[in-house]
Structure 1
Amino acid sequence: MNTKQYNYLITIASCQGISAASEKLGISQAALSKFLAEQERILGVKLFVRYRKHMYPTPAGKLYLDAAQNILTVKNSTLQTINRLTHGISDPIRIASTPYRGAELFSRVFSRFSSLFPTVDLSLSEIYSSHQEEEIHRSHVDFAFGVNLHANYSDVCNLPVCREELVLAVPSFHPLAHLADPDQLVSIPIQAFRDTPFILPSQKNNIRIVAEKLFQSAGFAPVIAFESGNGMTVDAMIRKGAGVGFISSRYVKPTAELAYFRLDPPCFEISYLRYKRGRLLTDVERCLLGILIEERLKTPSQELIPDPEIESFLKEVHPQ
């Protein structure tokens, strides 16, 4: 089955332009432009529109791209099945990620990886970050991607990949709220809120774990007005002025209800790649980890933590 045209269109959409897509596909811009024009002529509809130097799918284009992705998924799944029947069942690469956000990340990783390695199976387990290191230690999974350090297994490698800053959200009526600058985050030590009630996530939440370490290093136990395992409830309570709380910097938006502060020193939630220390990674596994890192960095406000090993994974995705 020749699915080249579907891959071309999906690449144009992901790169938002002919130039970047042609470079990624290894063909000339002229050839790719001619291909797109011919596809639109055959279909009788425009698949993309240009806006501010970028290309975006039209409504018809979105329908066509969804169908194209489904066709590629079916093709890859069929190739995997044929491979298993022909060569026997091989063990899948087992990945652990956090529920909700991690599962959404994995769906993007799977789509890219399966197009490159259609005969290699991936298996996802949704495991909270606090249990991932133990699962690696017990060899229940091959790789895990989660935030913060929770255990101390000598045979588990925790490779820091990226970080996201946590800021303090303060009700606008708080005595210190007037110090905030809506155009630029002002730094303030957490000790300044020693006597202020806090709204916190539940104990096992990753932000709560970071907050507990912050309070410990600052030398005080916070006044906890409310805590919940539901992030939306925590956010709502902060916005209603029940107390101050920590939020990811990506959610900072100007509002009359809240003032935002950068902590001094800054506070970060760090994402880690986890795998058995000393594991000899195959080229396929290194490419998989590179794709995972790239997709994670597409999340707003994620900052890459430079490391030679991280760079080597990323180069595996785009070899020179």
Structure 2
Amino acid sequence: MDLKQLEYMIKIAEENNITKAAEKLFITQSALNQQLLKLEKELGTQLFVRSRNNWHPTHAGEIYIDNAKKMVQIKKDTYNQINDLMDIKKGKLSIGLTPERGPEMFASIYPTFYKKYPNIKVEPIELPVKQQQHEILIGNLDIGFVTLQDYQKTNDEYIQIGLEEIILAVPKGHPLAHIGGKLGDSLPEISLDRFKNDTFALMQKGSTLREIYDNLTTALDFNPYILLETRSCHNLYNMVAEGICCSIIPIAYAKQNSNVTYFLIKQKPVWEVCASYKKGTYLSNPARDFIKIASNYWSTKLNQPKGISCNP
């Protein structure tokens, strides 16, 4: 069986469009269509339902695509295991990064990785957490670096490389600001429901941080007014610093600023910084080393002990 043909069919299924699939595969649409027709003739059945804007697998196509993905993964795992056995430091790593903090992490740790693995091609891909989870599931990412709580994890593998508190940031003009604290001090604890009549800036719906906030307010049975929804935790902090509203932010985004006071939240929301990879796949030595370097980076950034194991 031709593995290249398997990859072609997988790409058509991913794109739901033969034209887009051909573009991603860097071949002509005609050549890709010929491969598909040849395979369908060999199997004696159609693999895709065709329409102008949406190709989707038939039942036979679903069976083919599911098993094609398994075979492609077996090939990848086999090559990685042999490369590790022979200490062949070459290949490719696709790394998922969250759009806001991921690039900073990558720029900090890649030079260390490159010194040991100059012949490993690393492809950083910036995606929100849930999109990373999807790409890991379908085999398009080797590792994803994500921040989330336990209930937000999929059935794939997660290696915890850090824990980060989520805190409440309040502008200095707020009536409760005087009992708040500054970074570097022991922050006072307060229940989030004391701010039920306040205005908040929050991450957009669908983000892992927004889900944590929504669960907190649902449990406390209140629903504060939301002034702004954004994709950036930096924007959340800036809204507080400008005296506009309150917000909850990961502690690594907090800055020492006379215009902002901070509280620990009584409900103690904490999320994990994790490296994730597809369940049942082989994690190569270069991938493990990349995770170890990332673990040291987060240990320093979050002021936590180093030496977190990258074993699943």
Q: Same fold (TM over 0.5)?
A: yes
The 2-side partners of 1:131 and 1:207 are apart by 15
- How many residues are paired up? 221
The 1-side partners of 2:173 and 2:219 are apart by 27
For residues 200-243 of structure 1, give each alpha carbon's deviation from its aligned partner in whole angstroms, at most 9, with x where no partner exists.
Answer: 23224443232222222323222213333454543333223332
Q: Structure 2 vs 1, CA of residues 229 and 128 (structure 1 numbering), >3 Å: closer, same or farther?
A: closer
Once the 2 structures are TM-superposed, how far is the Cα of residue 304 of structure 1 from its aligned partner? 5.8
Once the 2 structures are TM-superposed, how far is the Cα of residue 261 of structure 1 from its aligned partner? 0.9
Q: What residue is the counterpart of 2:214 in the other structure?
A: 212
Once the 2 structures are TM-superposed, how far is the Cα of residue 152 of structure 1 from its aligned partner? 5.7
Q: What residue is the counterpart of 2:132 in the other structure?
A: 132
For residues 113-165 of structure 1, give each alpha carbon's deviation from its aligned partner in whole angstroms, at most 9, with x where no partner exists.
Answer: 121122322222112112111111100111111111586643x1123221221
Q: What residue is the counterpart of 2:52 in the other structure?
A: none
SS at 2:266's partner residue? strand
Alignment of structure 1 residues 245-264 onto 2, 5 Å: 245-264=247-266
Q: Which has the higher contact order (CA 8 A, sep 6+)?
A: 2
Q: Structure 2 vs 1, CA of residues 224 and 209 (structure 1 numbering), >3 Å: closer, same or farther?
A: same
The 1-side partners of 2:234 and 2:254 are apart by 15
Q: Structure 2 vs 1, CA of residues 251 and 109 (structure 1 numbering), >3 Å: closer, same or farther?
A: closer
The 1-side partners of 2:232 and 2:310 are apart by 38
The 1-side partners of 2:267 and 2:153 are apart by 25
Once the 2 structures are TM-superposed, how far is the Cα of residue 289 of structure 1 from its aligned partner? 1.6
Once the 2 structures are TM-superposed, how far is the Cα of residue 187 of structure 1 from its aligned partner? 0.3
The 1-side partners of 2:267 and 2:306 are apart by 18
Contact 2:165 2:250 (C-alpha < 8 Å) held by counterparts: yes
Q: What residue is the counterpart of 1:178 in the other structure?
A: 178
Q: What residue is the counterpart of 2:160 in the other structure?
A: 160
Alignment of structure 1 residues 6-21 onto 2, 5 Å: none
Contact 2:92 2:122 (C-alpha < 8 Å) held by counterparts: yes
Gaps of 5+ in 2: 1-89
Letter in 1 for 2:278: K
The 2-side partners of 1:188 and 1:128 are apart by 30
SS at 2:263's partner residue? strand
Question: Residue 286 of structure 1: which of 288, 291, 296 is its match?
Answer: 288
SS at 1:174's partner residue? coil
Once the 2 structures are TM-superposed, how far is the Cα of residue 273 of structure 1 from its aligned partner? 1.0
SS at 2:106's partner residue? helix
The 1-side partners of 2:240 and 2:97 are apart by 28
Question: Residue 309 of structure 2: which of 297, 308, 311 is its match?
Answer: 311
Q: What residue is the counterpart of 1:202 in the other structure?
A: 204
Once the 2 structures are TM-superposed, how far is the Cα of residue 196 of structure 1 from its aligned partner? 1.7
Letter in 2 for 1:95: I
TM-score (norm 1): 0.60
Q: Identical aligned pairs, as a percentage?
A: 24
Letter in 2 for 1:207: L
The 2-side partners of 1:116 and 1:245 are apart by 41
Gaps of 5+ in 1: 1-89, 314-320
